Amino acid sequence: AQTVTQSQPEMSVQEAETVTLSCTYDTSESDYYLFWYKQPPSRQMILVIRQEAYKQQNATENRFSVNFQKAAKSFSLKISDSQLGDAAMYFCAYNPAGTASKLTFGTGTRLQVTL
Amino acid sequence: GAVVSQHPSRVICKSGTSVKIECRSLDFQATTMFWYRQFPKQSLMLMATSNEGSKATYEQGVEKDKFLINHASLTLSTLTVTSAHPEDSSFYICSARGGVRSPLHFGNGTRLTVT
């Protein structure tokens, strides 16, 4: 069974600084997708960034980037120039290719952004 | 962009009654929708995969007679919590996507409180 592990229950970062959230996963599949979702207090799940396992290049979306290490099964999220609006729960998620978006989520990391 | 609407956002019901939660894809057709459950300060747990025109596929440990899922059209899936008990109190979230390569969109969730 696939598992997703987020070892940091809480993280804190100062506004304008950079923070990295960790995620590791376990799978025997070779083709899959990885995601980072943000869940603010409104509870809405917002897709932050997505990585396809067959792509070696790390995905980036503006201030958000990932460090995808396929051999190590690691998928960390880096948030640059942190903003107050980045404060939220962040979930790492895994989806084997061809399983119609059947996501497995990690336990989440609560990110605090301080002034 | 694509939007998934979930209704109601909050519901309080008495123990023993049934509650229906609707999940609609507003501007795309979704042959597959997913129902998740989220306990406070925990991650999202997949309950079942809702397939248009056929029976839902439930995850291990989820009672299919307790959580009835109906996916009668390409834009609507419903989750009915039957004979609700206080332990069913939770946050329920649906998700859907328009195609194999399309991103997954989440509804805003439903907070169910059973008294």
Residue A101: the pLDDT is: 66
Q: Find out whether A32 and A53 touch, Cβ atoms under 8 Å.
A: yes
The average pLDDT across B64-85 equals 94
Lowest-pLDDT range of A64-73, B14-23, B24-33:
B24-33
Average model confidence (pLDDT) across chain B: 91
| Residue in chain A lying closest to B38 (CA) | A43
At B32, the pLDDT band (50, 70, 90 cuts) reads confident
- Please report, rounded to a whole number, the percentage of residues in chain B having pLDDT higher than 70: 96
Q: Is the pLDDT of residue B66 over 90?
A: yes
Task: Count CB atoms within 10 A of the CB of residue A8.
Answer: 16
pLDDT mean values, one per 10 residues, chain A (115 residues): 91 98 94 94 92 93 97 97 97 83 90 97
The average pLDDT across B1-12 equals 88
Residue B100: the pLDDT is: 66
A102 contacts chain B (CB < 8 A): yes
Residue B98: the pLDDT is: 73
**Contacts B30 to A, Cβ<8 Å:** none
Residue A53: the pLDDT is: 92
Residue position matching structure tokens 């956002």: B9
Q: How far apart are CA A6 and CA B36, in angstroms?
A: 19
Across the interface, of B38, B46, B100, the residue whose CB is closest to A103 is B46
Q: Do A105 and B100 touch (CB under 8 A)?
A: no
As a dihedral over the C-alpha atoms of residue A45, residue A51, residue A52, residue A54, rounded to 10 degrees, the angle is -160
